[in-house]
Structure 1
């Protein structure tokens, strides 16, 4: 009976043989013959030594052995962005760093966890001892410089570019501070030791440079070191630094101008500016209009105010929505102040309660002053010839760097909870910066979040199978929408 089945299988397969003579086709034909022989039969286990058992035939009960598999589509997308950024060349083909960046994007965790994360997607990682040995080289300023150079080249930073700057805090679950991890003002309202992290990006929020500072360092003292470090890494010339008012001091402004750079920053408006006071005198009883702008130049030497070129100009912008929110807050604070003065509620911190008066009273004069300033925000810049609307538009790009911080802290889990020493913290931040750049490239190309992209692309695998000594490659078919994602990322 077995001989008859083999003859029938042979005749069925031989119809398709044609002139195929190579080993690969022969192996496939043998497997097809075995599948025909097996059919839907169950295999009989005779308990024999399986050391000489034939390779799987591909039937239900005798499947082909899979020698390896990987999340090929996801890895192809990450690696494509990694190479387009020039990280492979910049790092000298350092595969340990590349794998740490891969793991940070796929499943953020500790360096030890990265080994398991990579194994899940079919990548053989270096040992933990090897990873720890490499971290010291990733923590150096020279390594950070080569990453910054690659990022700046990709972003096309040059004369006339806008560079955004902001800081955030990352805390540590420890009670013991050190030279870097110190208690200070926390944006997350934490009391544990922390570090300040400064980030430079282009106008779209694409990362350019990152730096770590002591947790109790003033934010204004982080700007110049970051700019100078980036200047040494990349030929930073005639670009404009855009930052919030909290990042700037008089010293910072002077240093930036002396370095040949420009700046745009928001300014506090403690009292009604002279230019608006003059406008109110010329337009008695007239209300501001939404979007109205007043420009006031500033001169270092006031003797040249009528003939010289201004050093900077401050544009004051009025927003109806901003005014509405401010006035509502003033009204709420006034109501609380009145109840407190009347003894109906306990007196808490309230700017409109005058505690210096003989009898506590509501400071309505201060509220009137604040109402006059409601809706007005100032923007100072050294770009004196740039139209005010363009200055405001450039400043609003700061929303992009805030998005980058959110992505790094949530999707990439930038908080270095597993790092203890300054070297390991700096190495960790460099890995996060590289992962952030790749994640932003993938998001920009597809319009989807990095979390969703990883979750979607990770499901599609490539396989290697062994058949009679021959390697066969297979892959999960890609639906049209996934193929579009792959094309958008790899062909951008």
Structure 2
């Protein structure tokens, strides 16, 4: 899941919601499915106030129908880790590999303690990675509207838990927390300069801070505040640790970890769409035009991913878009055109899709013929 902000008033599609960029603007939610090779499969747009965990099942059902798939394994971060999603996936014969929170109020204290406990871990010789796993159960709570009986009930699923610690993840967590702590110190010293939308997570490290539920402004800016040292210490203890819960109890630890680590590719797809393909800012406003804009961006992303897959060396999306953007021509004479750019990458790209690379000087007729011709 990601979202795109719009500088406009809210409407039926563009609603106020939890912005990935912590902006107060109306947003549109996008749910994207892609395969293990990072090739997009399908997407759907949702109103901006749609909860992340409510978006997966309808998109997944459409994909399975359209592609005639019998079973799939969904790999997702903790934003989609909900009881309804887990129960629905297992009931339909599908599987899940979800990240499980061990931080904050949403974490289960017993699971957190087991993850942080040294017992059972096996590490590498360099001391930069360790892992452990155990078989267990996952109790999911279903709301009344999601059960056949019409009554809320708990369902116990067979599950496997895999915990691991990575030095690289620990370094990144410390770096990100230091940035948040810098904002938290500013929030303590000058609370009036911040709101719920602009503190960017710093409030979790500050004691004595309250926000107006309607405006998001800080209440009683003159009230004494201080850093929450206990919260900082508790957060730091979990640096580098990750917990995965899966219904694929027969998979090995490495298979589960590798599947989870593949999530970086969908985050990269969103980055590519927002930057290289320029999916934002969005300069259209009607629902039909918004859908057309994102469909165009989705097709461009799919083409880029396929080019990356078949091109030697798997070049980055930025390299491909930059290099192909330079393949242009200028008029030399009445009917002659000059193509003055050619590189090893453009040659690889043309070869990969079975097209001839344009020569330096070509007539209009030759260009038209080349566009129709494949090797």
TM bucket by the smaller chain? 0.5 to 0.7
Matched-pair contact (CA < 8 Å) for 1:264–1:391: yes
**Separation of aligned partners in 2, 1:360 and 1:452:** 49
Matched-pair contact (CA < 8 Å) for 1:210–1:429: no
Q: Residue 59 of structure 2 aligns with which residue?
A: 226
Give the superposition deviation at 1:168.
1.4
Give the superposition deviation at 1:464.
10
Q: Deviations over 1:129-153 (max 9, x none)?
A: xxxxxxxxxxxxxxxxxxxxxxxxx
The answer on 1:293 being equivalent to 2:157 is no
Alignment of 1:183-332 (within 5 A): 183-269=16-102, 270=107, 271=109, 273=111, 275-276=114-115, 279-280=118-119, 289-299=127-137, 311-326=158-173
**Separation of aligned partners in 2, 1:354 and 1:474:** 68
Q: Residue 459 of structure 1 aligns with which residue?
A: 329
The answer on 1:171 being equivalent to 2:18 is no
Q: Deviations over 1:12-52 (max 9, x none)?
A: xxxxxxxxxxxxxxxxxxxxxxxxxxxxxxxxxxxxxxxxx
Give the superposition deviation at 1:227.
0.8
Q: Between Structure 1 and Structure 2, how many residues are aligned?
A: 301
Query: Are the structure 2 counterparts of residues 209 and 416 from structure 1 closer, same or farther at C-alpha, using a change threshold of 3 Å?
Result: farther
Structure with more relative contact order (C-alpha pairs < 8 Å, separation 6 or more): 1
**Separation of aligned partners in 2, 1:295 and 1:240:** 19
1:435 aligned counterpart, secondary structure: helix
**Separation of aligned partners in 2, 1:483 and 1:355:** 61
Greater displacement, 249-258 / 187-196? 187-196
Query: Are the structure 2 counterparts of residues 235 and 326 from structure 1 closer, same or farther at C-alpha, using a change threshold of 3 Å?
Result: same
Give the superposition deviation at 1:265.
1.4
**Separation of aligned partners in 2, 1:317 and 1:178:** 44
**Separation of aligned partners in 1, 2:255 and 2:287:** 41
2:20 aligned counterpart, secondary structure: coil
From 166, 174, 181, give the equivalent of 2:14.
181
**Separation of aligned partners in 2, 1:489 and 1:312:** 44
Alignment of 1:342-421 (within 5 A): 345=189, 351=204, 355=208, 364-415=229-280, 417-421=282-286
Alignment of 1:473-488 (within 5 A): 481=344, 482-488=346-352
Give the superposition deviation at 1:181.
1.4
Give the superposition deviation at 1:478.
8.6
Matched-pair contact (CA < 8 Å) for 1:290–1:320: yes
**Separation of aligned partners in 2, 1:323 and 1:180:** 39
1:384 aligned counterpart, secondary structure: coil
Q: Residue 143 of structure 1 aligns with which residue?
A: none
Superposed CA RMSD:
4.1
Give the superposition deviation at 1:477.
9.2
Give the superposition deviation at 1:362.
6.4
**Structure ranking higher in helix proportion:** 1
**Structure ranking higher in strand proportion:** 2
Q: Deviations over 1:42-79 (max 9, x none)?
A: xxxxxxxxxxxxxxxxxxxxxxxxxxxxxxxxxxxxxx
User: Between Structure 1 and Structure 2, whose CA radius of gyration is higher?
Assistant: 1
Give the superposition deviation at 1:173.
2.9
**Separation of aligned partners in 2, 1:408 and 1:331:** 29
Matched-pair contact (CA < 8 Å) for 1:315–1:388: yes
**Separation of aligned partners in 1, 2:322 and 2:329:** 12
Greater displacement, 422-431 / 214-223? 422-431
Matched-pair contact (CA < 8 Å) for 1:263–1:381: yes
1:486 aligned counterpart, secondary structure: helix
